[in-house]
Structure 1
Amino acid sequence: MNLHERRRDGAAREPLLFVEDLKVHFRVPLGDYPWSPKGTLRAVDGVSFEVRRGETVGLVGESGCGKSTLARALVGLVPMTSGTVRWRGEAVASGHRRHPTMRREVQMIFQDPLASLDPRMTIEQIVAEPLVTHQPGVGRAEVRRRVTTMLERVGLSEHHLRRYPHEFSGGQCQRVGIARALIDAPKLVICDEPVSALDVSIQAQIVNLLRDLQRELSLSYLFVAHDLAVVKAISHRVIVMYLGRVMELGMRDDLYGAPQHPYTKVLLQAALTPDPARARARRPLLLAGEMPSPLNPPTGCVFRTRCPIAIAACAHDLPQPVVRHGSATRVACIRAGLVAFGD
């Protein structure tokens, strides 16, 4: 292999997005008055992962685990407190300021289809806005042509150009949101629970649309969701978060087939199954208590207060996601795989 071939091979293997020890903390008042003392809310507390070209990385966890905050921090909607983020090998500035190329090449699809669209703008204006912002030299006729083409690609038509968001259903509004995210040819799309507000039948249509667009446009996705069935249907790798930290990260089939972390096992046991016989036969795994406050997380392993296999060492040692048991799965648990739980 010559030097040029080695460089090309290295570029192909380099992840699009590299995140290391990312933290997003907020200073919030601890009382009801302006002079109340403030505490630190650790929404995201040291998350590391990468997204490769052409793959979908699923991000799952309970409500309040920090997955949406992480997604918003990556697109600059909330400031990063610390950590390293590299986009296509280049360092990205912290806070609200992002690398100029990343602003264009990383787009987001939001959870609420209607609320994410400006009600005062027509569908044509909404979809065209990123294109006009990043490519101001493109003529009006070319902008309309591209917008029409993109709308048709997501299942809408030219007849929808002059309509307003309130004239569409939730599924149609989400298609408009997808068209807006893709109009300027991004490389990574961050999907923040894009189907959670939709009916089940519409969810399947949107997931199939996203998969088709990924193949056609060579897209990468960071897919945030709490529905494990949806994540399994679309993801190549999966990240499991709890209280701002990564509990487990691995290939989809490995994680769903042989989960290592007790929290992952609980999530999978709680997921609905379409097979009534299997649903009646399995033993439910229930967690005691509520998720602790990110204002006052437990010492050591943040999951230890609800973990059925926790030991004294869990209160002192903060486990980092490391490769265990000869697989590519990274698990943040000192007892992962050592104790049978929920089998």
Structure 2
Amino acid sequence: MSTTSISLDRSFSYESATHSYDIKWTSLGSPSSPPLIFIHGTPWSSIVWHQFALSLAHSHHVYLFDNPGFGSSPLGRPLPGVAISEAEELDADLARQSEVYAALYKYWERNKSEGWNGRNPSVVAHDHGGLMALRGHLLHDLQYSKLCLIDVVAIPSPDGRKKPFFELVSENRGVFEDERWSDANGRLWEGLVEGYIRDAAYRELDAGVMAQLKEPWTKRGIEGRKGFVRQTVGAARRDVSAVESRYAEVAGKMRVRIIWGGEDRWLPAETAGRLADALGEDEGCVRVIEEAGHLIMYDQPARLGIELALWAAES
């Protein structure tokens, strides 16, 4: 798959009760076209959506952005004099990221130059972007015309277990943040991140894609390493309790599509059916794509592209 990159050439500044943010974003396509938002998860960035955004921009006004601490958006900065707890730092329930996303959504909505003209956007979300999209709707009153959830973090595993690697990092955070990883010119750390990313894919990723996906965590020194560890520890403590009991409220409000990689080792394909049930949808909304892992957009880009195009064209 091509490694074509789109520049996030615009900035959105936002200040919450505890942090200030500078979110990088861009839009593609005609403002007169229906709006469509892509949301990425961890440890990725909006780069995973670039090829699909370019295609769908022919029929939609497409929005891309990097979450705080991912890609080109810096981590939120604590406000002077505000004490930040470990829970707030980790943002395990994605409350902070979802608040920033909601503020950005509302900025687009009220900005007449963006051309929404009272139309609700379609939303495509991957990984923890799914929980962000659902929190946005249920807790921040963001209205969507359609919602496409792709291999998303949204419901706990049946046994409550987390991915073993998440647990290992969470229990040994200081070890993984230790600067001595740099003693081998960063190669040990780079190998660990590469192995982690490979585990998300069913097929071998080409060198260009791998370089793009690992760069934020391996080429930015100690801050990149700490960022990767912070996101991994946050994933180990991920909490959906604030919204899980309200998922059934989604039914009937928007058209929902759930797409899953049949060989997703991080979130098994059976999760798609359980999520459909939780959302009050029948399994007719589920599409399982075989020979695809968690990084379905790289394992099966053509098949995912067709599914997204069909879903986006539905009225």
**TM-score exceeds 0.5:** no
Larger Cα-atom Rg: 1
* TM-score class, shorter: under 0.3
TM-score by length of 1: 0.26
Q: Under a length normalisation based on structure 2, what TM-score does the superposition of the two structures give?
A: 0.28
